[in-house]
Structure 1
Amino acid sequence: MRRRALLAAFTALVAATATFGVRLVTADAAPITFTHPGVLVSRPQLDFVKSKVNAGAQPWLSAYNQMMASRYASLSRVPAPRATVECGSYSNPNNGCTDEREDAIAAYTDALAWYITGNAAYAQKSIALMDAWSATITSHTNSNAPLQTGWAGSVWPRAAEIIKYTYSSWPNQARFATMLRTVYLPVVIQGSASNGNWELSMMEAAVGISVFLDDKASYDRAIARFKARAEAYVYVTADGSQPKYPPVGGVDTRAELISYWQGQSTFVDGLSQETCRDFTHTGYGLSAISHIAETSRIQGEDLWPSLADRERHALGLHTKFENGTAVPSTICGGSVVKGLGPVTEVAYNALANRLGYAMSNTRTYTEAKRPQGTNNLFVAWETLTHANNPA
C-alpha cells in the first residue's frame, strides 16, 4: 500500500510540472535527429546482409532462401484489410487478426527482399500492402486489441522505414504515417498491466512508430515505460530478494508479486515473470526487449549495456532447458512448457558478438535453430538480418 501512495505522489508531481510548463528530464532522451532506416535494422546492417547473400555465404543465404520461399514473399499476395480488427483472447474471435499481422510481416518481408535483390516489384508489393491497410483500418476491438495493436504496430514501421528511405516513390506515405499516429500509437503508448509480454510488445510498437514519425516525445515516453517494464520482467540477483514490482497494475506486496509470477517464490538470475506460464510467451517478452534495445542502439542511445545482465541471463536460463538440461524442482515445480521460438539472434549478436559475453547455452540453441524464421506474429527473419552482423 505504501508503494501505491508513493506512486500517487509522483503522479501528482508530474501533473504539477505539466501545469507549470516544466518538463521532467531523464538521462535517456530521444536523439537530436533520428537515424533512418532505423527500426530494428539499419542501412549498414542491410548492406552487410546483402553482401553476404550475394556472396552465397552461410547462414545468410539459407536464411534468405527460407524467407523468399515463404508465403510472405509472394508477389501475388492479396492484402486483406478491414476497418475494424476484432481480436478476443488467443485471437478468438479472429476477425482480421491473422490477416493484419501476416500482411505486416509480408510488407516487411518484401521490403527486405527489395533491398537485397534490387527488384522494384518487391518494394511495390510492400507499398501495396501498407497502402491497403492505411486506406481502411480505423480501430482494434475486443480483449486482445492492445496486444494485437502492439504486434502489428511493431512490424509495420520496419517495413515503412526501409521503403521510405531506400525506395524512390511512395505517394501514400503520409496516409500510412497518419494510420500509425491515429490507430496504433494512442493504444500502445498507454502500456498495459497484463502479463509483461503485452507491455513489452506495445512499447516495441511505440518506439518503432516514434522513430518513423520522428516523434521525440513519444519515443522518450515509450523508452521510459519500457525500461521500467524490462526491469520488472526479468529478475537478476542485483534486484534483491525478489523481482521489481511492475510499473502499473497494483502489484505491490510480496504475495501479489508471487501470484503475478505464476506462483514462483524462488528467484534466480534470468527468471522471467512468465517462465512458469510457458516459454512461448516468455520468448515474446525477451524478443521485444531485444528489438527495442537494438533500435535504441541504431538511434545512438544503446540500451544494450544496461540490459545486458537481464537479457543474457534470461536467454541463458531458458535455452539451457530448451537444450535438454533438467529443470530443478525449485523452478516452476520442476516442470516447464518449452517453446521459446525464433527469438535469440538479435540478442545473441548484440551481447555475445558485440559486447563479448560468454553465452554458451544461447549459442547452442541459436545455431541449432538456424535459420530462425518467423513466429507469424511479430518476429521474422532474424538469422538473415542479425546473425553475426557487425554493423
Structure 2
Amino acid sequence: MPRPYAVAPRTTAFVRVIARRTAPVVASVLLAPLLTAAAHPAEPTPFTHPGVHVGRTQLDAVRERVRSGQQPWRAAYDAMRRSRYAVLDRRPRPYKIVACKPYAKPPACMAEREDAIAAYTHALLWYVTEEQAHADKARQIMDSWSAVIKDHTEGNSGLQAAWAGSTWARAAEIVRHTGAGWPQQDVDRFSRMLRHVYLPELSGKVADYNGNWDLAMTDAAVGIAVFLDDRKAFDQALSRFRARVPAYFYLRSDGKLPVPPPGGTVKTQQQIRTYWFGQKRFVNGLGQESCRNFEHVGYALAATSHIAETAWHQGVDLYGPVRERLAAALELHSRYQLGEKMPKWLCGGKPELTMGPDLEVGVNHLGNRLGEPLPQTRKLAARMRPAGTDDLFVAWETLTHAENP
C-alpha cells in the first residue's frame, strides 16, 4: 500500500530536473532583495538631541512652569539657584589625574563631581533663563576639565568616572544642542575627553561588585554614547542594563534565589545570600544592597531610571521589561523609608534608612506616563521635594522630572 502523499519515482526525477534548471533563476529572484539590502544597508536611526536624561519637551515644560511660578517646580528651581553650584564666580578645579581610593574623599574626586554638577546646574539655568552668562559658565567649567584631565586611578576609578561622566554628558548635551554657542573645537576636545578618559573606565568588569557600580557605570556610558552619537557604545550599554537589572532587583518569578550577577563568580546558594548581605528570604522588590543600606539601593534606583529615561528619549523602551521590578523596588523601599516597621526576617529588622533624592525619574515614568499607583513612592517623593542633589550624580530631579511627561 503506497505511503500517504508519497511522490511517484518518475515525478520525483522530473522535479529534480526542473529544480536543477530553475534553481539559479529562483535563487537570483529570492536573493536579489537581500543583495540589494547588503549593498545599501539601512542607516541607523539618528540620535535625538538634546536627549540625555532630559529632552527638549521636558526642558520647555520646566521653563514654562518656573516662569509661571507653578509648584513644586518653582521651589525646586529656587533651591537650585540658591545652591553653591549656581554661583557665576565659581572657579573650576580641574586635575590631570583623578585618583580615588575607596571610602576616601580626595580633593580631586570631589572637585570633579562637583564641577560636573555645577556645569549641569548652569546648563539648566541657561535653558530656563536664557541668560548667556550661565551658558558661558557651563562651557568654561567643561572646557577647563577637557583641557587638563588625562586619567582616573585607584580603586574607585570606575565609580568616580561613572558619577562624573553621567553628569558631564547631561550638561554637555544641553549646552551643545540648545544654541548656547559652544565653539566646535571645544566640543571636539570635550568629546575626546569623554571617549578616551571616561568610556574606558566605564567598560570595566565589575560583575562581583555591588550592583550599584554596574548601573552607575551604565548610566554614564549610555549618556556619553548619545552625546558622541556612538551607536555601538549605546547598544553595549543597553545590553549591560538588560543583564544587570534582573540581578539587582528581585521578583518571585526569578525562583527561590535571586538571579546571579551576569559574568561573575557568585553562583551557589551560599554565595548569593552572602552577596545579598546575609538575607535569606527574598520578596518582590528587594535589592541586592537593601540589607547594606537604602542609600546604595537609592543609587541603583536612580541609575536604573536614568538609563531607561535616556533610552526612552532615543526611542528604546527599557522601562517596559523592568516595569514590575522597578515598581516593586520603589514601593518596598519607600514604605520602610516612610517608617513602616521592618519585619525581623528582613535585614534583621534593622535596615539603614538612608535613601537620597533618587525617586523622581522612576515615579514620573511609571506613575505619570504608565499610570502605576505607587502610593508609597508618591508619598515619599512628595515628602522629599524639592529633591536637590546627592553631590554624586543625582541633581535637581524634581525640577526636571516631577510630573513631566
Is TM-score (shorter-chain normalized) higher than 0.5? Answer: yes
1:131 aligns with 2:143: yes
Partner of 2:154: 142
Give 1:139 shift: 0.6
Runs of 5+ unmatched residues, structure 1 = 1-29
Partner of 1:222: 237
Kindly provide the amino acid, as one letter, of the partner of residue 183 in structure 1. Answer: V
Partner of 1:154: 166
1:332-381 C-alpha deviation (Å, 9 max, x unpaired)? 01110011100001100100111111100001100011100000000000
Kindly provide the amino acid, as one letter, of the partner of residue 199 in structure 2. Answer: L
1:2-48 C-alpha deviation (Å, 9 max, x unpaired)? xxxxxxxxxxxxxxxxxxxxxxxxxxxx9611010001000000001
Partner of 2:37: none
The 8 Å contact of residues 250 and 285 in structure 2, kept in 1 or not, is answered as yes
Partner of 1:89: 102
The 8 Å contact of residues 91 and 97 in structure 1, kept in 2 or not, is answered as no
Partner of 1:378: 393
Task: Sort the Cα spacing of 1:31 and 1:205 in 2 relative to 1 into closer, same or farther, 3 A.
Answer: farther
1:309 aligns with 2:333: no
Kindly provide the amino acid, as one letter, of the partner of residue 364 in structure 1. Answer: K
The 8 Å contact of residues 285 and 329 in structure 2, kept in 1 or not, is answered as yes
Partner of 1:243: 258
Partner of 1:122: 134
Give 1:305 shift: 1.3
Q: How many residues align?
A: 360
Give 1:76 shift: 0.4
Give 1:222 shift: 1.1
Give 1:72 shift: 0.5
Larger radius of gyration: 2
Kindly provide the amino acid, as one letter, of the partner of residue 145 in structure 1. Answer: S
Aligned to 2:177, what secondary structure does the other structure show? helix
Partner of 1:60: 73
CA–CA separation in structure 2 for the residues paired with 1:190 and 1:89: 16
Kindly provide the amino acid, as one letter, of the partner of residue 46 in structure 1. Answer: L
1:1-391 pair list within 5 angstroms: 32-92=45-105, 94-171=106-183, 172-193=186-207, 194-390=209-405
Return the TM-score normalized by structure 1: 0.91
1:258-277 C-alpha deviation (Å, 9 max, x unpaired)? 11000111000000000000
Aligned to 2:103, what secondary structure does the other structure show? helix
Aligned to 1:271, what secondary structure does the other structure show? coil
Task: Sort the Cα spacing of 1:376 and 1:31 in 2 relative to 1 into closer, same or farther, 3 A.
Answer: farther
The 8 Å contact of residues 203 and 225 in structure 1, kept in 2 or not, is answered as yes
Partner of 1:25: none
CA–CA separation in structure 2 for the residues paired with 1:191 and 1:122: 38
The 8 Å contact of residues 191 and 202 in structure 1, kept in 2 or not, is answered as no
Return the TM-score normalized by structure 2: 0.88
CA–CA separation in structure 1 for the residues paired with 2:187 and 2:242: 31
The 8 Å contact of residues 132 and 180 in structure 2, kept in 1 or not, is answered as no
Give 1:249 shift: 2.4
Give 1:187 shift: 1.1
CA–CA separation in structure 2 for the residues paired with 1:91 and 1:204: 23
Aligned to 1:226, what secondary structure does the other structure show? helix
